[in-house]
Amino acid sequence: MDLFEYQGKQYFAKFGIPVSAGGVAVTVDEAVKVAEASQYPVVVKAQVQVGGRGKAGGIKLANNADEVRLHAGNILGMDIKGHVVKRIWVEHASDIDEEYYASFSLDRAAKKHLLMLSAQGGVEIEEVAEKDPDAIVKLHINPVDGLSEKVARQAAVDAKIPAKALDGVAKILVQLYDCFTAGDCDLAEINPLILKPSGEVHALDAKVSLDGNAEYRHPEWAEYSATEELDDREQLAREKGLQYIGLSGTVGIIANGAGLAMSTLDVVNQVGGTAANFLDIGGGANADQMAAALEVINFDKDVKSIFINIFGGITRGEEVAKGIVEAMKRVNLRAPIVIRLDGTNAEEGREILASAGIPESKLMSKPTMLEAARAAVALANGK
Amino acid sequence: MAIFVNENTKVIVQGLTGGQGKFHGLRNRAYGTNVVGGVTPGKGGQDVEGIPVFDSVADAVKATGADASFIAVPPKAAAAAILEAAKAGITFIVCITEGIPAQDEAKVFNTLLRDYPKVRLLGPNCPGIISPGKCNIGITAGEIAELPSAKGPNVGIVSRSGTLTYQALYELKQQGIGVSTCVGIGGDPVPGTSFVDCLAEFQKDPETHAIIMIGEIGGSAEEEAAEFIKANVTKPMSAYIAGVTAPAGKKMGHAGAIVSGGKGTAQGKMDALRAAGVQIGLNPTEAGSLMAEIVKGLK
Statement to judge: residues B147 and B284 lie in one domain: yes
Q: How far is B189 from chain A (nearest CA, A)?
A: 6
Q: Are residues B35 and B110 in the same domain?
A: yes
* Domain containing residue B27: CATH number: 3.40.50.720
> What was the pLDDT predicted at A289?
86
CA distance A134 to A63: 39
CATH 3.30.1490.20 in chain A, residue ranges: 21-92
Q: What is the model's pLDDT at position A316?
A: 78
Q: What percentage of chain B reaches a pLDDT higher than 70?
A: 100
- Domain shared by B108 and B162, yes or no: no
Which pLDDT value is given to residue A285? 66
pLDDT digits (tens, 9 = 90+) for B35-76: 999 999 999 999 999 999 999 999 999 999 999 999 999 999
Give the domain-ending residue among B122, B150, B170. Answer: B122
Does residue A177 have an active-site annotation? no
Of A126, A256, A269, the CB nearest to B244: A269
Quote the pLDDT of residue A319.
84
Digit-coded pLDDT (tens) for B241-269: 999 999 988 889 888 898 887 789 999 99
Handedness of CA A266, A270, A271, A272 (dihedral sign): positive
Residue B240 has pLDDT above 80, yes or no: yes
User: What's the pLDDT score for residue B277?
Assistant: 97
Same domain assignment for residues B71 and B187: no
Q: Does residue B157 sit within a domain?
A: yes
Instruction: With CB atoms and an 8 Å threshold, state whether A217 touches B110.
Output: no
For residues B163 and B105, membership in a common domain is answered with no
Per-residue pLDDT of chain A (383 residues; tens, 9 = 90+): 899 999 999 999 999 999 998 999 999 999 999 999 999 999 999 999 888 888 899 999 999 999 999 999 999 999 998 899 999 999 999 999 999 999 999 999 999 999 999 999 988 888 888 899 999 999 999 999 999 999 999 999 999 999 999 999 999 999 999 999 999 999 999 999 999 999 999 999 999 999 999 999 999 999 998 888 788 899 999 888 888 999 999 999 999 989 999 999 999 999 999 999 999 988 666 778 888 999 999 999 999 999 999 988 777 788 888 888 988 988 899 999 999 998 878 889 999 999 998 998 999 999 889 999 999 999 999 86
Q: B154 and B93, same structural domain?
A: no
The superfamily (CATH) of domain A232-380 is: Succinyl-CoA synthetase domains (3.40.50.261)
State residue A11's pLDDT score: 97
Residues B201 and B247 in one domain: yes
Report helix, strand or coil for B28: helix
Q: What is the pLDDT of residue B260?
A: 82
- What is the per-residue pLDDT for A103? 97
B124 contacts in chain A (CB < 8 Å): none
A 271-300 residues with CB below 8 A of B?
275, 278, 280, 283
Minimum mean pLDDT range among A6-10, A125-129, B211-215, B289-293:
A125-129
- Residues of chain B in contact with residue A262, where contact means CB-CB under 8 angstroms, are 161, 216-217, 242-243, 246, 252-253, 257
Catalytic residue from among A5, A91, A98, A189: A189
- Domain A21-92: give its CATH architecture: 2-Layer Sandwich (3.30)
Task: Give B-chain residues touching A260 at CB under 8 angstroms.
Answer: 161, 163-164, 167, 242
Minimum-distance CB partner of A259 among B102, B163, B282 = B163
Q: Which residue in chain A is spatially nearest to B110 when comparing CA positions?
A: A144
B146/B80 same-domain check: no
Mean pLDDT on B181-204: 97
- The stretch B12-23 carries a mean pLDDT of 94
Could B163 and A342 be called an inter-chain contact, meaning their C-beta atoms sit closer than 8 Å?
no
Indicate whether B147 and B291 sit together in one domain.
yes
pLDDT digits (tens, 9 = 90+) for B130-144: 999 999 999 998 988
A217 touches chain B (CB under 8 A): yes
Q: Tell me how many degrees the CA angle A219-A221-A223 measures, rounded to the nearest 5.
A: 110
- Does B291 reside within a domain? yes
Write the CATH number for B172.
3.40.50.261
C-alpha B25/C-alpha B72 separation (Å) is 9
Residue B132 lies in a domain: no
Query: Measured between beta carbons, which residues in chain A are less than 8 angstroms from residue B143?
Result: 344
Looking at the predicted structure, is the pLDDT value of residue B202 above 90? yes
Q: Measure in Å the smallest separation between the Cα of A40 and chain B Cα atoms.
A: 36
Report if residue B28 sits inside a domain: yes
Question: A108 to chain B nearest CA, in Å?
Answer: 6
- Kindly determine whether residue B189 and residue A269, on different chains, have CB atoms separated by under 8 Å: no
* Claim to verify: residue B45 and residue B173 sit in the same structural domain: no
Contact at CB, B257 and A343, closer than 8 angstroms: no
Whether B104 shows a pLDDT value over 90: the answer reads yes
Total residues found in chain B within this entry: 299
Is the pLDDT assigned to residue B1 strictly greater than 80? no
Roughly how many angstroms between the first and final C-alpha of chain A, as a whole number? 40
**Which residues in chain A are classed under CATH 3.40.50.261?**
232-380
Examine the domain organization and report whether B287 and B150 are in the same domain: yes
Secondary structure in 3-state letters for chain A: CECCHHHHHHHHHHCCCCECCEEEECCHHHHHHHHHHHCCCEEEEECCCCCCCCCCCCEEEECCHHHHHHHHHHHCCCEECCEECCCEEEEECCCCCEEEEEEEEEECCCCEEEEEEECCCCCCHHHHHHHCHHHEEEEEECCCCCCCHHHHHHHHHHCCCCHHHHHHHHHHHHHHHHHHHHCCEEEEEEEEEEECCCCCEEECCCEEEECHHHHHHCHHHHHHHHCCCCCHHHHHHHHCCCEEEECCCCEEEEECCHHHHHHHHHHHHHCCCCECEEEECCCCCCHHHHHHHHHHHHHCCCCCEEEEEEEECCCCHHHHHHHHHHHHHHCCCCCCEEEEEEECCHHHHHHHHHCCCCCCCCEEECCCHHHHHHHHHHHHCCC
- Establish if A26 touches chain B: CB-CB under 8 angstroms: no
Nearest chain B residue to A178, by CA: B103
What was the pLDDT predicted at A313?
74
How many distinct structural domains can be found in chain B? Answer: 2
- Residue B129 domain-assigned? no
Per the domain annotation, does B174 fall within a domain?
yes
Alpha carbon distance B99, B79 (integer Å)? 11
Output the pLDDT for position A284: 61
Q: What is the CATH number of domain A98-225?
A: 3.30.470.20
Q: Is A126 on the interface with B (CB under 8 A)?
A: yes
Give residue B44's domain range: 10-122
Q: Are residues B186 and B219 in the same domain?
A: yes
